[in-house]
Structure 1
Amino acid sequence: MSSKAPNTQRRNVTRDRIVKAAAGLLREQGAAAVTTRRVAHEAGLQPPALYRFFQDKDDLLDAAAEHVFAEHVEGKQATAPSDDPVEDLRAGWNTQIGFGLANPYVYGLLLDPARARDTPAQVKGVRILAERVHRIAAAGRLRVSEERAVNLIRAAGVGTVHTLLTLPPGQSDPHLADAAFDAVARAILVDEPAVSAQDSAAVVAAFRTLLPELSGLSKTEAALLDEWLQR
């Protein structure tokens, strides 16, 4: 067996120690606390060792924020779906809002436009949301396209967390997150599963979920039909 394998494993273990140390400092004290000296001390290393794994502090901060968010996403992924896709969406919303409020420093880094990038955890988080929206569409409860619903939910969630984190002391609104979800729900959901042409948008959204199962259509035909339905 190649000697590179143990060396790679040791490097991964050491890098993981560094990231976890940085993540702990970031969560508890913010980006300013993530210094080379403090992270190295927490990880049981000499400060120069960090530069064998990360180019600079920004690189380390990105890895720390990704680590914290990845743990959050794994928890969401482990949650089994219920029989009510709308309630599952609400539960996911509450979990996401709770994460943002409990991790303001991490959330700030993840949403910083200057650092914006699609990390694996962020991509997985959006996919989980899209899957929940897809279940609602399949149930005939969606009045807009799945893409529009996902984007509206994400936009409202970011705005809600940002607002709650920046409200002056004593002016917090404990019901704001629920009100924001209810507003989004009214914009994207129909009250009952679509059963007639009166709910044409919901019918279209539900039908789009069936396209992958229409084996009689070629990929090109399915794509064309999907384009028509979106229009």
Structure 2
Amino acid sequence: MTSESSHQKQTRARIIEVAAELLTASSTGQISTREVCAAAGVKPPTLYHHFGDKDGLLHAVVADGFERYLARKRAVGTTGDVVTDFRRGWDMHVEFGVTHPALYNVMYGRPMARQDVPAAAVARTDLVATMRTLDDAGRLRLPVEVAADAVETAAVGVTLHLIRTDGTRDDPAAAIVRDAVIAAVIGPSRTYTDTPASPHLAATAAQVRDALPHGPVATLRASETALLRDWLDELATAAPTEGPERHRRPSPR
């Protein structure tokens, strides 16, 4: 019984592996169950026994793809510097996509395909956790979930673009978008001193902040406007008794 179960698992894994390979080699991102069976050396009833139908097979391929993605992400590790780690994580994401274009397209180009895929949920949870770490460190410019949405949208968008244009991880577009996202999402590190903002300075900062319109300001870039608001918020809420150990103002939710 154990031997039969082991054989079944090996057969299932082999079919998933072959399907992923065929997807990667496909110029259209489409595969048929017939070619999967032929490449895996199994008969159609065997494939249907394990996956039900083609959609079930693609769901299994997506699950396997996200598990491989998470394993690759874990292997990158951390350096202790949040910006460096963000860059490394972004570059790994793009590299995974352009290296496995058809698989990535199924994983991220077809939202329904990753529904009920635990590893896909873990990938999202990891991203949110990264944003929360930045928020706890006082480096996040946006609410956690908004930041996670912005990062995922940009990373997936640029990766799908590179796949469509046969680009590579080193394509300038990937670095430009990555650095723009960093500027919009991650703020500078702060070193607090024993010299607090005076009540007059705090009041003036609050006045300027409240006078700023919503949306773009003059010729400032979006990232510059966000930074200006962040600075004014910090000055406006600074209490004269606060020093180097003061608590950071919580981000709005």
Over aligned residue pairs, what C-alpha RMSD do you find? 3.1
Larger radius of gyration: 2
Tell me, yes or no, if structure 1 residue 79 matches structure 2 residue 86: no
Q: Percent identity?
A: 31
Please tell me the residue identity of whatever aligns with 1:92: G
Give the TM-score of the pair, scaled to structure 1: 0.74
- Give, as a single letter, the amino acid of the residue that structure 1 aligns with 2:147: A
Of residues 41, 46, 56 in structure 2, which corresponds to 1:44? 41
1:127 to 125, 128, 141: 125
- Residue 12, structure 1, aligned to residue 34, structure 2: no
| Aligned residue runs from structure 1 range 1-231, under 5 A | 3=1, 6-29=3-26, 34-110=31-107, 111-167=109-165, 174-193=171-190, 195=192, 199=231, 230-231=252-253
Q: Write the deviation string for residues 41-94 of structure 1: whole angstroms up to 9, x where unpaired.
A: 332322321111112112212212332332121111233211201110111011
Structure 1 unaligned regions, length at least 5: 204-227
Question: Comparing both structures, which one devotes a greater share of its residues to helix?
Answer: 1
In the aligned structure 1, how far is the partner of 2:84 from the partner of 2:144? 17
| CA distance in 2: counterparts of 1:200 and 1:12, whole angstroms | 59
Distance in 2 separating the partners of 1:7 and 1:88: 44
SS of 1:190's equivalent?
coil
Of 173-182 and 147-156, more deviation after overlay is shown by 173-182
Structure 2 unpaired stretches of 5+:
197-201, 203-229, 236-249
TM-score, normalised to structure 2's length? Answer: 0.68
